[in-house]
Amino acid sequence: MTTRSRGPNADVGLRADGLSAIDPNKLRDDFPILHQEVNGRPLVYLDNAATTQKPRAVIDAISNYYLLNNANVHRGVHTLSQRATDDYEAARESVRRFINAPSADEVIYVRGTTEGLNLVASSYGRKYFSAGDEVIITGMEHHSNIVPWQILGKEIGIKLRVVPFNDDGELLMDEFESILNDRTRMVSVVHQSNALGTINPINAIVELAHARGVPVMVDAAQSVPHMPVDVQGLGADFLAFSGHKLYGPTGIGALWGRAELLNDMPPYQSGGEMIRSVTFEETIYNTLPHKFEAGTPDIAGAIGLGAAIEYLESIGMERIAAYEQALLKYGEERLRGIEGVRLIGSAQEKGGILSFYMDAAHPHDIGTILDAQGIAVRTGHHCAQPVMARYGIPATVRASLAFYNNTDDIDALVKAIDRVIEVFG
């Protein structure tokens, strides 16, 4: 493992309590990929909102599946198929436990958050929405929580209503209340914004929506990896997240939904696995969760996701959240100390996202200079173009945190920004 010396201002804003919640330097040893140099510098990986790195436990679970147990699930009586099925279903139970869902039957494997949102828009929306109905989203949604509703809107004639947010990136709840009305059929809202870091008040949103009998879908792509998320505590009706942002593999994620809603929804895709019986005249659908899992699933992905969850549980999501909050505060204080850096998103309730803009240089140029120093950040609109439009900027530089980041990583970022200032003035 590569360790770097602390920067000169390493004690700025240091919250000893939060920062000592976990030992990131020890946990980094679980992530082989972090121990390398990029462009001659120790890798500083700060692109965790795009995707997280995978601990050895996840890599081993996937390779063990292929080395020892590879077989299709649910259809075989032979031993390998039974082992694969057991592991695949055990991972579903891990997802259930992790988000405190009442039943594993309510946990549907999907490719990721995007597919979870598409499933609900397509299946629930096509069944229950009609022309003139309205769906409420917020102004800080990822495109995956805008476009599926928009497509449905064009098809059926539903209207998209958007809750605006203030300059700090906080939702205007009064506006939400005022657009919630008798034509509202769904509220679909991001839990933690990937562009701003804002953590939205899901409980309050659910309370207002449910008072009108409106279901709530939560895009939890950025929350589930960074804080304890309890679907029963949130009170929502649907929630989706992605495995690859949760230290698990790509191509797998989960949609949770209330059984009474999922049971009444038509299948999203059709084919094998989602049926109980088929004749040329009629098909009887399988029960939950299989009704929504047509075809051979991503078995290795599900097993890898289960391993990621067990790994996170071994650290504890409360501790991860406390640590990342402290690291965020440290990062914000350090970035605020640099003249010419404008932080985008300073909500009171905020997760580990440091999105910033500099008049001196285009975000892509900043990203290139940071990469030359071994620092991986994301530059662009982060699939949230309406957020960029709200602030009148084309893009931001986004450093996004994980529990394996430390104050040295932030100090390296700050030093590299100094280099940007040197180059661009």
Q: Which residues are catalytic?
A: 383
* Inter-residue contact 262 to 108 (CB < 8 Å): yes
Q: Which is nearer to ligand PLP, 242 or 286 (CB)?
A: 242
Q: Report the distance separating Cα 165 and Cα 304, nearest Å.
A: 37
Strands 283-285 and 275-278: antiparallel
Q: Which is nearer to ligand PLP, 18 or 345 (CB)?
A: 345
CB of 219 to ligand PLP, least distance (A): 5
Q: How many CB atoms lie within 10 A of CB 83?
A: 16
CB of 186 to ligand PLP, least distance (A): 16
CB of 354 to ligand PLP, least distance (A): 15
Q: Which is nearer to ligand PLP, 194 or 406 (CB)?
A: 194
Q: What's 75's DSSP letter?
A: S
- Write out the two tokens for 24: 């990131």
* Inter-residue contact 339 to 38 (CB < 8 Å): no
Q: Which residue has the tokens 């049926």?
A: 275
* Inter-residue contact 362 to 395 (CB < 8 Å): yes
CB of 247 to ligand PLP, least distance (A): 13
Q: Report the distance separating Cα 317 and Cα 138, nearest Å.
A: 27
Q: Which helix (H) or strand (E) holds 128?
A: helix 126-128
Q: How many CB atoms lie within 10 A of CB 329?
A: 18
289 preceded by cis ω (within 30°)?
yes
Q: Report the distance separating Cα 107 and Cα 253, nearest Å.
A: 10
Q: Which is nearer to ligand PLP, 219 or 324 (CB)?
A: 219
Positions that interact with ligand PLP (CB under 6 A): 49, 112-114, 142, 144, 190, 194, 219, 221-222, 242, 383
CB of 142 to ligand PLP, least distance (A): 3
Maximum distance among all Cα pairs of the chain, rounded to whole angstroms: 74
Task: Please name the residues in contact with 78: beta carbons below 8 A apart, sequence gap of 6 or more.
Answer: 71
CB of 191 to ligand PLP, least distance (A): 8
Q: Which is nearer to ligand PLP, 221 or 317 (CB)?
A: 221
Query: Rg (Cα) of the chain, in Å, rounded?
Result: 22
Distance from chain centroid for Cα 74: 29
Q: Which is nearer to ligand PLP, 315 or 383 (CB)?
A: 383
